[in-house]
Chain A
Amino acid sequence: GENVEQHPSTLSVQEGDSAVIKCTYSDSASNYFPWYKQELGKRPQLIIDIRSNVGEKKDQRIAVTLNKTAKHFSLHITETQPEDSAVYFCAATNGGNQFYFGTGTSLTVIP
């Protein structure tokens, strides 16, 4: 089956700086890669996703890039704000509805 690895497990940045979280996957058939944000004690929420026919997608301060050859995808958050502090999860699926999640990155934005 698919194996998704996520790095780093913790990340601290100064407010206004950029944050980058990276994930790798093993199954070349995976074609959909969502990112979820989970605030402390709350439910995961989809923040951005990318499909395998696209190399990059951007939504305001958040962007995701995908390198199918290397089998890795990354989340980029620019101009970070304290409210960006949360745990971020990447996931991958080959369209079979079974999602494989990374182990999460705890992001802390220091004011």
Chain B
Amino acid sequence: DSGVTQTPKHLITATGQRVTLRCSPRSGDLSVYWYQQSLDQGLQFLIQYYNGEERAKGNILERFSAQQFPDLHSELNLSSLELGDSALYFCASSVGSSGTRETQYFGPGTRLLVL
């Protein structure tokens, strides 16, 4: 157990809908990273927040948004869902802001299925 928690574990929804994925980092970690893992695209970095502020942005669609709250938990909002958004969504956390200096600890993931 990495200490990173994600809810829900599974999510089934319909095209056009909006969902929110939640992540709580390890105690003491200030950075949260979001990743999307799909069969055809592999593991893709979406976005990073550090202490409430956006720090790095990857291949995140405009339909997706994220935020990190004062208690450091983070939410990833996915809207106008399409079939291709079906994937496993991971968050990871680390102590500081630099992904190259600290280990990232991954949560168990949220499996999203869009029908």
Q: Which of A31, A43, A97, A101 contacts B56 (CB 8 A)?
A: A97
Q: How far is the CA of A101 from the CA of B106 in the complex (A)?
A: 15
Q: How far is the CA of A96 from the CA of B43 in the complex (A)?
A: 17
Q: Which of A31, A44, A45, A101 contacts B100 (CB 8 A)?
A: A31
Q: Are B43 and A95 in contact (CB under 8 A)?
A: no
Residues of chain A lying within 8 A (CB to CB) of residue B108 = 42-43
* Residue B20 interfacial (CB < 8 Å): no
Q: Are A98 and B58 in contact (CB under 8 A)?
A: yes
Residue positions of A touching B, CB distance < 8 A: 31-32, 36, 42-46, 51, 89, 91, 93, 95-104
Beyond A91-B43, A93-B99, A101-B42, 7 additional contacts (C-beta under 8 Å) are A43-B109, A89-B43, A93-B100, A95-B98, A97-B56, A97-B100, A103-B42
